[in-house]
């Protein structure tokens, strides 16, 4: 039976970004740079594996007191060849194979980290997303965005075409407009973004741009 008109088929955006990240990691190599300060491609792949497969060791990502445990686990994984690490990363653990869980946990994560590799390479260019993929990314971004802009301490609204979401309420907000993918990268603290506009009081715009955004 043919799928109904407008129905979605094939891998989700989260799974496609995972696959593309893995392919690109092998293409550019273990020591290639990323947008994550001080991290090579190998470091980024190790980070993603710890996040998914060794969550008990991931506490040091957010809690300084646990950093030593996280570092030990990362050092152990980093001794393995990159192809071995990437092969592990290609298939998520069983709980994350459930579509809604995978979408919630991994859509923005793998999109941003895929771009972390892409945009750290010479002559990168922005890539277009389909309207359906933008919708998927927007839903995830609207949910996590409130936490991402908290360090700025100013009201923030994001806008992309007809889409609009209030990430932090208040008078005279900063309205950040542009493509959904560029908004995602900006809110995760990446400077390598294109085509965004910032409207609002100058002091609030400056506070947002200068803030340490992201988790």
pLDDT tens string 128-167: 999 999 999 999 999 999 999 999 999 999 999 999 999 9
For residues 110 and 161, state if they share a domain: no
Give the sign of the dihedral formed by CA 194, CA 43, CA 97, CA 1. Answer: positive
The number of angstroms, rounded, from the C-alpha of 127 to the middle of its chain's C-alpha atoms is 15
CATH number for position 170: 3.30.1050
CA–CA distance, 148 with 113 (Å, rounded to integer): 16
**Is residue 126 in some structural domain?**
no
CA–CA distance, 70 with 7 (Å, rounded to integer): 42
For residues 105 and 168, state if they share a domain: no
Give the sign of the dihedral formed by CA 74, CA 49, CA 124, CA 144. Answer: negative
**Is residue 144 in some structural domain?**
yes
pLDDT over threshold 70, residue 32: yes
pLDDT tens string 76-119: 777 899 999 999 999 887 767 667 888 888 999 999 999 999 99
pLDDT over threshold 60, residue 6: no
What domain count does the chain have?
2
Q: Which domain holds residue 82?
A: 13-118
For residue 22, what are the CA distances in angstroms to 55, 95, 133, 163?
20, 20, 19, 30
For residues 95 and 179, state if they share a domain: no
pTM over 0.85: yes
**What is the chain's percent helix, strand, coil content, to nearest 5?**
55, 10, 35
């Amino acid at each position: 039976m043919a799928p109904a008109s407008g129905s979605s088929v094939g891998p989700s955006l989260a799974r496609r970004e995972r696959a593309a990240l893995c392919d690109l990691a092998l293409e550019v190599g273990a020591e290639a740079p990323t947008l994550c300060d001080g991290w090579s491609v190998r470091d980024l792949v190790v980070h993603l594996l710890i996040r998914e497969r060794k969550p008990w060791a991931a506490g040091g990502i957010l809690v300084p007191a646990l950093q030593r445990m996280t570092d030990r686990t990362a050092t152990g994984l980093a001794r393995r060849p990159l192809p071995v690490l990437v092969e592990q990363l290609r298939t998520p653990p069983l709980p994350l194979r459930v579509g809604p869980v995978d979408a919630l946990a991994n859509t923005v994560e793998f999109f941003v980290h895929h771009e972390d590799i892409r945009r750290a390479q010479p002559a990168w260019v922005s890539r277009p997303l389909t309207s359906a993929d933008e919708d998927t990314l927007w839903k995830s971004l609207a949910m996590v965005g409130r936490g991402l802009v908290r360090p700025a301490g100013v009201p923030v609204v994001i806008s992309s075409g007809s889409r609009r979401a209030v990430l932090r309420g208040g008078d005279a907000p900063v309205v950040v407009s542009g493509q959904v993918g560029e908004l995602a990268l900006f809110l995760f603290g990446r400077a390598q973004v294109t085509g965004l506009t910032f409207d609002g009081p100058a002091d609030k715009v400056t506070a947002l741009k200068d803030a340490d955004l992201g988790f």
